[in-house]
Amino acid sequence: MIATVVDWDALLQVIWVSLVAGVGVTAAWGFALLGSTRALEFGREGRAGEAVIYGVLGVAGFVAVIAAVVFAIVILTGD
Amino acid sequence: MGSEIIVVIVVATALIFDFTNGFHDTANVVATSISTRAMPPKLAVGYAAILNFVGAFVSLEVAATVANDVVEIQANSIGLLAVFGGLVGAIAWNLITWYFGLPSSSSHALIGGMVGAVFVAEGADSIFFEEGVIGKVMVPALVAPTLAFIVGGLSIVGLYRIVGRMRPGPVTGGFRFGQVLSGGLLALAHGTNDAQKTMGVITLALVANGTIAADDFHVPDWVVVSAATAIALGTYVGGWRIIKTMGSRIHKMDAAQGFAAQGAGATVILAASHVGFPLSTTHTISGAVIGSGAAKRLSAVRWGVAGNIVVAWVLTLPAAAVIGGATYLITRLFGTGAAGPIIVSTLILIGTVVLFVRRSHHGAAPGVVPAPESAS
């Protein structure tokens, strides 16, 4: 009976959105921390190339987190 | 005139329920931020209250589910009294479980109370049992904590892999800063899902009163504002109790775990709110916290909390339904006017005071199950 009464589309949407957004956003924040910290360390050591690469990673991670939060709020406010 | 008085009583009762929901749930929303020292307690509580308020304005899908998809209310005094019975059933069940230290869920109690009262008042045909109660309440109630557990676990495993070789100082600072964001999202999610349940119930009462046409569902602005205010005030007032008990009742977790748990809880609740599933936010947040702990070390998990969730899941809906139905019958003893709700409200108020006095005299709850910090 459960198979026929559950709104599977909605439930599966909750599952995949939660997995992608939950794991993705936390991972993106991890990369933001990794990138920004390593960029500062390499910058202090004068290794400009590595500092730039990690800096880009840090900024990308941070932007991804903010973008995901803004996107989620925009989607929700459209309900 | 009689029905107008009943509407006022129902709205006041619903807002009191909303206030207690926020009061009980402050711990879930702010505990992680405070225990990892991401935010000072006073700031965390104020921040959570504000975002609970804002969250109530974000979506109306859950309110629509509560008002349209669980029960069908007739636009007459019977329907109005059924809504009142359901609300009182939920409040009474929450009081009983609080007194005996049993696990509960305010959200499930509210749904259960409504189902029980409407079943007694208007019959089984007025309950959308399969697609509403099972499909939109019970199954999501089981899936959400499990999903939050998995998301919290996967998140912390991923985070440890990404930042595991870094020096602890910057990482901890970074995750504490991140918790300002994830804690805010969690408070927003809590306000979004929980405040809407009250909005849905008030809207049901307005439909029963004929103020809103059944085929023209909408949540009036004053309902949104009052529900948002009630849950935010409850969160703020409840926070002072949490601040006083900090350090003894909240177990330690590192900042990365706190960030992962808050992020997992927030995403599951927000995703569910988007499709209109009324969840137990406490169970979902608990699932995320347990998941982030289990992924690090199984022995660090308070498995008793997981057991409480299962007990609450099994008990709350039927128990609240029985009390909701009984409350409706008691109310009807006094006719279909305002006398019944006035008498029952007075009795529940007296009962609340008696239980508070007895608990304050006897100390800890006598129940065998450890008292949950809160449950919604």
Q: Which residues of A touch B140 (CB under 8 A)?
A: 11, 14
Nearest to B257 by CA among B175, B198, B326: B175
Instruction: Work out the number of other CB atoms within 10 angstroms of the CB of residue A73.
Output: 17
Mean pLDDT score, B171-189: 92
Do the Cβ atoms of B274 and A27 come within 8 Å? no
pLDDT grade, residue B355 (50/70/90)? confident
- Rounded-to-integer distance, Cα A40 and Cα A27, Å: 20
Searching chain A, which residue's CA lies closest to the CA of residue B258? A26
Q: Which residues of B touch A75 (CB under 8 A)?
A: 274
Task: Give chain B's mean pLDDT.
Answer: 86
Do the Cβ atoms of A15 and B159 come within 8 Å? no
- Which two structure tokens, joined as six digits, stand for B77? 């005094």
Do the Cβ atoms of A72 and B151 come within 8 Å? no
Q: What is the pTM of this model?
A: 0.88
- Which two structure tokens, joined as six digits, stand for B23? 């009061």
Tens digit of pLDDT for each residue in A28-77?
999 999 999 999 999 999 999 999 999 999 999 999 999 999 999 888 88
The label of the residue with tokens 């008002």 reads B67
Do the Cβ atoms of A10 and B275 come within 8 Å? yes
Please check the confidence at residue B333 and state whether its pLDDT lies above 90.
yes
* Residue B87 near residue B356 (C-beta atoms within 8 A): no
Nearest to B284 by CA among B376, B349, B352, B354: B376
Strands (E) in chain B, as ranges, are: none
* Residue B287 near residue B149 (C-beta atoms within 8 A): yes
| Domain boundaries along the sequence of chain A | 23-77
Searching chain A, which residue's CA lies closest to the CA of residue B178? A29
Q: Which residues of A touch B131 (CB under 8 A)?
A: 5, 7
- Give the DSSP letter string of B310-322: HHHHHHHHHHHHH
Do the Cβ atoms of A29 and B158 come within 8 Å? no
Query: Residue B294: its pLDDT value, please?
Result: 83
* Residue B83 near residue B117 (C-beta atoms within 8 A): yes
Instruction: Work out the number of other CB atoms within 10 angstroms of the CB of residue B294.
Output: 18
Mean pLDDT score, B6-30: 88
Sign of the four-CA dihedral B232, B274, B58, B114: negative
Tens digit of pLDDT for each residue in B92-113?
988 888 777 666 788 889 999 9
- Contacts with B5 (C-beta within 8 Å, 6 or more apart), sequence order: B338, B341, B342
Do the Cβ atoms of B152 and A22 come within 8 Å? yes
Cα diameter, chain B:
71
Tens digit of pLDDT for each residue in B265-284?
999 999 999 999 999 888 89
Long-range contacts of B164-171 (CB under 8 A, 24+ apart): B166/A33, B166/A34, B166/A37, B166/A38, B167/A37, B170/A33, B170/A37, B171/A33, B171/A37, B171/B255, B171/B256
Mean pLDDT score, B349-370: 69
Residue among A18, A33, A76 minimizing CB distance to B147: A18
Do the Cβ atoms of B147 and A69 come within 8 Å? no
- Give the DSSP letter string of A29-55: HHHHHHHHHHHHHHHHTT-HHHHHHHH
Q: What is the nearest CA distance from A45 to chain B, expressed in angstroms?
A: 16
Please check the confidence at residue B159 and state whether its pLDDT lies above 80.
yes
| Domain boundaries along the sequence of chain B | 2-143+171-250+309-362
Q: What is the nearest CA distance from A10 to chain B, expressed in angstroms?
A: 6
- Which of A16, A19, A33, A37 is most worth mutating to test chain B (most B CB atoms within 10 A of its CB)? A33
ipTM, two decimals, is 0.92
Searching chain A, which residue's CA lies closest to the CA of residue B135? A6
- Rounded-to-integer distance, Cα B46 and Cα B117, Å: 36
- Which two structure tokens, joined as six digits, stand for A34? 């990794």
Q: What is the nearest CA distance from B123 to chain A, expressed in angstroms?
A: 20
Instruction: Give counts: helices (H), strands (E), chain A.
Output: 3, 0
Q: What is the CA radius of gyration of chain B?
A: 20
* Residue B282 near residue B375 (C-beta atoms within 8 A): yes
pLDDT grade, residue B241 (50/70/90)? low
Q: What is the nearest CA distance from A48 to chain B, expressed in angstroms?
A: 20
Please check the confidence at residue B68 and state whether its pLDDT lies above 60.
yes
